[in-house]
Amino acid sequence: MARPRSQDRRNAILSAATHVIASRGLGAPTAAIAEAAGVSNGSLFVYFDTKSALLNELFIELKAEMGTAAVRDLPTDAAPYEQVFHMWTRWLGWATAHPEKRRALAQLEVADEISEESHQLVRESQRGMAQVLTRSLAEGPMQDQPMGFVLTLVTAMADATIDAIIREPAAAEALGDAAFEAIWRVLGGTTGSQASARGIATSSPSVA
């Protein structure tokens, strides 16, 4: 009879994988992850059939954690500018508070091992965020571009901002605000003051 799986041990393996991937990259062996988790390599495969399965589960879990942080306490009746700014500040807060998770996720985002099914699960779980971004693009210069391309641009700007904040934590607020104004011009085609003055649509979908 198979031994029951421990949720604590599974979480320890995922936490160890985050640390090892952040420091050694995706090519790190499962033995290194198992050692960091305090389990045998064989035990690791009790919880994850393959290294690819482990990477996919870690990707989904980190994306879910980041997404949940971004939309926590989202003002559902606010205009798109305020909603996107809320998600931006929460995103920066999560990334700077969890640098290892951010580095691991950045590698997983472009890993060949991450399946289309995993990407689709993430897209479905973050549909509310996508709706807010879609509304913000309605009258902006990127309105006819694929959402994936827009997100790639925004992510690149976010990564540069996070790196700058980590180097200069005392300037975090100023750097975050300046970067958001640049991002909003890409999304909405206006400055923050213009967006607030126009009041752009005040009803929005509820984001869980």
DSSP conformational letter for 121 = H
CA nearest 132: which of 185, 163, 195, 86?
86
State pTM to two decimals: 0.84
Q: Is 146 exposed, middle or buried (0-12, 13-18, 19+ CB in 10 A)?
A: exposed
**205: helix, strand or coil:** coil
For the chain, what is the domain count? Answer: 2
Asked, for residue 99, whether it belongs to a domain, the answer is yes
Q: Answer yes or no: do 160 and 107 share one domain.
A: yes
For residue 188, what pLDDT is reported? 87
Asked, for residue 55, whether it belongs to a domain, the answer is no
DSSP conformational letter for 55 = H
Domain that holds residue 91: 64-197
CATH (domain of 180): 1.10.357.10
Asked, for residue 45, whether it belongs to a domain, the answer is yes
CATH (domain of 4): 1.10.10.60
Asked, for residue 140, whether it belongs to a domain, the answer is yes
Q: Answer yes or no: do 121 and 185 share one domain.
A: yes
Q: Answer yes or no: do 33 and 85 share one domain.
A: no
Asked, for residue 100, whether it belongs to a domain, the answer is yes
Contact call for residues 39 and 47 (beta carbons, < 8 A): no
Q: What is the pLDDT along the chain (208 residues), one digit of tens a residue?
A: 345 678 999 999 999 999 999 999 999 999 999 999 999 999 999 999 999 999 999 999 999 999 999 999 999 889 999 999 999 999 999 999 999 999 999 999 999 999 999 999 998 888 888 888 888 998 789 989 988 888 888 888 988 999 999 899 999 999 999 999 999 998 988 765 555 545 444 333 333 3
For residue 195, what pLDDT is reported? 58
Asked, for residue 205, whether it belongs to a domain, the answer is no
CA 155, distance to chain mean position in Å, is 9
Asked, for residue 162, whether it belongs to a domain, the answer is yes
Q: How far apart are CA 175 and CA 159, in angstroms?
A: 12
Phi then psi dihedrals of residue 82, to 5 deg: -65, -35
Q: Answer yes or no: do 2 and 73 share one domain.
A: no
DSSP conformational letter for 140 = S
Asked, for residue 87, whether it belongs to a domain, the answer is yes
Q: What is the CA radius of gyration of the chain?
A: 19
For residue 149, what pLDDT is reported? 87
Q: Answer yes or no: do 90 and 170 share one domain.
A: yes
